[in-house]
Amino acid sequence: MRFRTRFNAVGGISDFIEQWRRPTPYRWPILAASFLVSGSLMFWVTQEKYYYPPEQPEVTYITTFAEGRTDEEIRQSNIENQRQKDEREAEQARLLERRRELYKEVGAATGLDVDAMEAQIEADEAAEAEAERQRLERLFGEREDRSETTVETDSE
């Protein structure tokens, strides 16, 4: 049996023509709706959008320093900034100490053993500092050991 004889389009085309020739009242609106739907779908599918990369911004640098400062002016400015920083840190330390004193007073007024709590806090802070020192020693001590061994091998 041949493939061509099994699937013959002549019968289908003749049936379509016969149905098309029948006088149906909604033939043209249905045909228009069919074209509109399939045309809209094809239009939507075949659109290509291209997004351009954004333009590079124009950078304007704003500086608060004078254009032609001398090294001495820079040094004086650095000294003044360091003085202000030291004053701020001293004020923060003073406020922190005042806060600790107030907490001690409140704790003593409520019947807590403030001295034992302070000793425990100091012990915890000392343990944390020692752990951090050991961690840094392990990290940087290995580097120093390696650099010493490389120096020793180079000198030999």
Q: What is the pLDDT of residues 10-28, one digit of tens each?
A: 888 998 888 888 888 888 8
Note the pLDDT of residue 145.
56
* 12 falls within a domain: no
* 58 falls within a domain: no
One domain for residues 78 and 102: yes
**What is the spatial distance between Cα 107 and Cα 26, in angstroms, rounded to a whole number?**
93
HEC readout, 58-101: CCCCCCCCCCCCCHHHHHHHHHHHHHHHHHHHHHHHHHHHHHHH
Note the pLDDT of residue 89.
97
Domain range for 80 is: 71-112
pTM for the whole structure? 0.40
Give 52 or 65, the one with higher predicted confidence: 52
Question: Residue 42: what residue type?
Answer: M
One domain for residues 92 and 106: yes
**What is the spatial distance between Cα 24 and Cα 16, in angstroms, rounded to a whole number?**
14
Note the pLDDT of residue 150.
54
What is the count of structural domains for the chain? 2
One domain for residues 75 and 102: yes
Phi-psi bin for 111: left (phi > 0), alpha (psi -120 to 50), beta? left
